[in-house]
Amino acid sequence: MSDRTVEEVFEVIAAAAPEIRAALVERVGFESEENPSGEQQIAADVHADRLLEERLLTIDGVGHYASEERDHVISDGEGYSVAVDPVDGSSNVESNNAAGTIVGVYDAELPASGEHLLGAAYVLYGPRTTMVTAHEGTVTESVVENGDRTTVRDDVRIPEDDGVYGFGGRVPDWPADFEAFAREIEQELKLRYSGAMIGDVNQVLTYGGIFAYPALRSAPESKLRLLYEGNPIGYIVESANGRSSDGDRSILSVPADDIHQRVPVHVGTTEYVDRLEAALD
């Protein structure tokens, strides 16, 4: 494996973005199958997953492919592991709202904690197709056109002032300590919640604030997946001088023992994540 491997993964994801975006338009029908997390798939999920598996495993330094859509890791030799959410927020496609693709590059076989991440990135299919990459402590935002990246923001740092908030789950399902925190935050920040984590996290990375999909009364492990969502997004936000937390500690420190393990996700400006941790009993 070379230092180039992470960049090669980013190049493959950028090159695939136009095809994945096109599939969001053309392949919106629901599949009969559910993914391993019990979520209904749309044809674009399956298409993007197969496309990314094929192309990422052709990279010399990549030996293992894991995806939210697959029930096991696919290996074809030695190398780093990539963990992918091919279409994050595919349920948003029906209502013509943003969706994204998320990738994490791990220097260990999966499942592995976020401390094994060498790089992470997401593509946001919004009015423009943009890509945010984090590698070696630097976060870069690019516009993706015809599969090529043009940098629009280098050395992205999460703003320290004000910002927006977005909290997933239903209010009656929030534990009392999280609800009390939410009541404080809603007095201070503007609500921005779209139902697609990448769109919501990109707002927080742009304006500051906090995104959370917290532990729920009905699901203490919450909803988002550690390998494909929590770790890559935590890595990106921490690389942008923000913080991530599962409620107690950095998401990147959470031990991983299952490839579809879920984790409560709280990411954003350090002040708000610190306050979140202090608010949870």
Residues that bind ligand P6P (CB under 6 A): 88-89, 91, 168, 195-197, 213, 223-224
Q: With respect to ligand P6P, which residue has the nearer C-beta, 199 or 242?
A: 199
Tell me the closest approach of the beta carbon of residue 107 to ligand P6P, in angstroms.
26
| H or E segment to which residue 101 belongs | strand 99-106
**Smaller CB separation from ligand P6P, 55 or 225:** 225
Instruction: State whether the Cα torsion 53-57-59-63 is positive or negative.
Output: positive
Nearer to ligand P6P, 80 or 272 (CB): 272
Task: Give the Å distances, CA to CA, from 95 to 168, 181, 193, 256.
Answer: 18, 30, 14, 34
Q: How far apart are CA 264 and CA 145, in angstroms?
A: 34
Q: How far is the CB of 133 from ligand P6P (least distance, A)?
A: 19
Residues 6+ apart with CB under 8 A from 95: none
Closest distance of CB 212 from ligand P6P, Å: 10
Nearer to ligand P6P, 79 or 195 (CB): 195
Task: Rank residues 5 and 69 by Cβ distance to ligand P6P and give the closer one.
Answer: 69
Q: Report how far residue 164's alpha carbon sits from residue 206's, in angstroms, rounded to the nearest whole number.
A: 9
**What's the closest the beta carbon of residue 68 comes to ligand P6P, in angstroms?**
8
Residues 130 and 17 sit within 8 Å (Cβ to Cβ): no
H-helix or E-strand containing 51? helix 43-56
Minimum distance of ligand P6P from residue 63's CB (angstroms):
27
